Structure 1
Amino acid sequence: MKSVNCKKLRQKCGFNKELYVDPCGKSRGLAVWWLDSIDIEVLYKSKNIIHVLMESEGLTVPKLVSFVYGPPKEGDRRVVWDVLRRLATGIMVPWLALGDFNDLLSQSEKEGGNPRALRKILNFQSLLSDCSLIDLEFKGSKYTWCNKRGGALVRERIDRALGNIEFRNEFEHAVVFHVDLVGLDHHALVVDCCHSEDKAPRTFKFEANWVQHVDFLKVVDSGWREVAVSNVNSLLDLIQRLDVCRKRLMEWSRREFPNFRKLLISCAEN
């Protein structure tokens, strides 16, 4: 996708600022979008790496972030890994490197197909060692890519986020989430630098038995109409309406489908 088309998508997603490296043919394009609350200074950019200095007054962010796309061919990856090694020289601040590395750290990160050549695994392990980078903890699917070929299915963990010691010390609770995107062959990576299990919101789950209730459609319709249409950002309107519907359904469910186990315990205690 050319940067001119990315701009339209960026606006719909609500980001204010952008940086692009246009693709060569149909691959290797890179895009970075960010909000006004973050300041970014580009230190290095190529068709495979965007390396930036990041600062924010209102948010706690890593000092350095590298957005990486590892070339599919081993020889090309070696060249890009050497660039990362040079960028890593002398870094003494929190550094986060993430993206599609197209490489594995062990055979256990692949399912199906031929085993990954040992030299490739050792080369990638060597990169992490030379750059003092650590594979960050993740939640979600074990694999981040799938060839979607049915009987010849291959799955691999080639997308990842890495951090140096300084990053781990400052963001000790950082967690990477592998988010499944319907229709795509890669999972998205969401890096929560300050993750807290205690503060994690309860996951919304749609209950199939709701639709049998006489008031279900009324609750959805009421929540949908609660948000005024802006006619400026249709995607934002949709997100806000879905969020309100979610809240109204949860409130309604607590009234119409109470937790009978808790009620029984409460009655027994009284």
Structure 2
Amino acid sequence: MVVFGYFGILGSFTLILIKHSQYIHLEAVHLSTNSHMLITMVYGFNFGTARKSLWDGLNLISSSATKPWIIMGDFNVVRSPDERLGPNPPSLQDIRDFNDCILSNSLTDIRSLGSDFSWTNKHEGTTRTWARLDRALVNLYWIQTYSTSSAEYLPPGVSDHSPVEVKLDLNSAPPKTGFQFLNCWISHPSFLDTVSKSWSTGNIYGTHMYCLMEKLKKLKGDLKHLHSLHFANLISRVSECRIKLQNCQEAIMMSPLDTDLLNEEQVLLAQFKKLKQAELSALNQRAKITHIRLDDCSTKYFYDRIAERHHCNYISQITDAQGVVHDTDTGVGAAFTSYYTQLLGTPRDRTDLDPDILASGRCLPSSEVQGLTKPIYRE
């Protein structure tokens, strides 16, 4: 586990690359793992016009940053009005400049823990102001390399700023992603048959809820098999189909009247469109981006957005009901299991309902029973 704040990194060697009035840019090498990372420590000026050189400097660094890069410190500006609480609203132009720098360099906020605000003027009464001036931003190389990293905002103590502590586990495996139903499966001819066979095979006994869960568990395995046969490695399959199509079309140029080649081109065109549509559908669903067209070839951008979403959704730390903090994958999983076990209960023997006792109580008249059991029609 590596922990570092504004002023140092444990167990590493650092080399200062750039000194600027608003930031220090350096490269760090973790000695035990030989992991290289770029770190920029920021202290932004108070006025928006003076911060222009900060944004220009970050743009310049980003243009050549091909390693994991983190930018952290006091930027003296917020990203939205919601990040400031107090009598004086933030400058919208300053917010716009900050966000333009972040978006143009494909940066994102690292997953954070602790307070929503990192600074306060500590005034009394209605003049008290809170703001999120301190933050840690990372590039896509960082997310791909340190997917479980996080920043924690600690109590400020006597300072008006909260210390920001970044943690990353250099030896941890990337977090596993859960099962996700992909909409592109529905378009496959064998989808309905796969679902029907999976749902009807096997005798499952128990409560209705138990039977439903067991059927869904089996269906999940069958859908994974369908995915592995027809939808796995879509990027490489799309690329291979594109090459075959290009080779076929080049051959047609040499023999434009060859009916076999013309028929092969039609087959490959249909196959390519189907694979490309499935790929873009999966990207759309996983990245939560809707403006994808069939002719859009910027697939790296969408896979980067997927990695960013996985990073933001990963739960690296949780506090249980007893106040114990769990910050390992095993500990977080055990805390969730314990909570829902207590919430939902555990299996135990129970006595079946006695129909005579039920019949002796108040019952609905037959007219109301018929109304409740009538078929439902869509209108």
Matching residue of 2:146:
171
Cα deviation for residue 181 of structure 1 reads 2.5
Matching residue of 2:16:
42
Q: Distance in 2 between matches of 1:156 and 1:96?
A: 21
* Corresponding position: 1:193 with 2:183: no
Aligned partner of residue 161 in structure 1, secondary structure: strand
Q: Distance in 1 between matches of 2:46 and 2:35?
A: 30
Do the aligned partners of 1:62 and 1:96 also contact (CA within 8 Å) in 2? Answer: no
Q: TM-score w.r.t. structure 2 length? A: 0.43
Of 74, 83, 106, the residue aligned with 2:80 is: 106
Deviation larger for 131-140 or 193-202: 193-202
Change (3 A) 1:148 1:127: same
Q: Which has the higher strand share?
A: 1
Q: TM-score w.r.t. structure 1 length? A: 0.59
Cα deviation for residue 44 of structure 1 reads 0.3
Matching residue of 1:56:
30
Amino acid at match of 1:131: N
Do the aligned partners of 1:62 and 1:95 also contact (CA within 8 Å) in 2? Answer: no
**Alignment length (residue pairs):** 179
Q: Which has the higher helix share?
A: 2
Aligned partner of residue 76 in structure 1, secondary structure: coil
Do the aligned partners of 2:44 and 2:74 also contact (CA within 8 Å) in 1? Answer: yes
Q: Distance in 2 between matches of 1:109 and 1:67?
A: 21
Cα deviation for residue 46 of structure 1 reads 2.1
Amino acid at match of 2:162: H
What are the superposed Cα offsets for residues 93-120 of structure 1, whole Å, 9 maximum, x if unpaired? 1101100011111111011122212111
Q: Distance in 2 between matches of 1:123 and 1:136?
A: 20
Runs of 4+ with >4 A deviation: 59-62, 195-202
Deviation larger for 192-201 or 148-157: 192-201
Q: Distance in 1 between matches of 2:65 and 2:49?
A: 26
Identity of matched residues, %: 26
Aligned partner of residue 137 in structure 2, secondary structure: strand
Larger Rg: 2
Amino acid at match of 1:92: T
Do the aligned partners of 2:30 and 2:36 also contact (CA within 8 Å) in 1? Answer: no
Aligned partner of residue 72 in structure 2, secondary structure: strand
* Corresponding position: 1:141 with 2:115: yes
Do the aligned partners of 1:62 and 1:167 also contact (CA within 8 Å) in 2? Answer: no
Do the aligned partners of 1:174 and 1:192 also contact (CA within 8 Å) in 2? Answer: yes
Change (3 A) 1:111 1:170: same
Q: Distance in 2 between matches of 1:48 and 1:199?
A: 32
* Corresponding position: 1:83 with 2:57: yes
Matching residue of 2:158:
183
Q: Distance in 2 between matches of 1:93 and 1:105?
A: 25
Of 144, 153, 178, the residue aligned with 2:128 is: 153
Matching residue of 1:71:
45
Do the aligned partners of 2:150 and 2:316 also contact (CA within 8 Å) in 1? Answer: no
Amino acid at match of 1:156: A
Do the aligned partners of 2:153 and 2:163 also contact (CA within 8 Å) in 1? Answer: yes
What are the superposed Cα offsets for residues 191-229 of structure 1, whole Å, 9 maximum, x if unpaired? 112399788899x98xxxxxxxxxxxxxxxxxxxxxxxx
Q: Distance in 1 between matches of 2:318 and 2:32?
A: 21
Matching residue of 2:353:
none
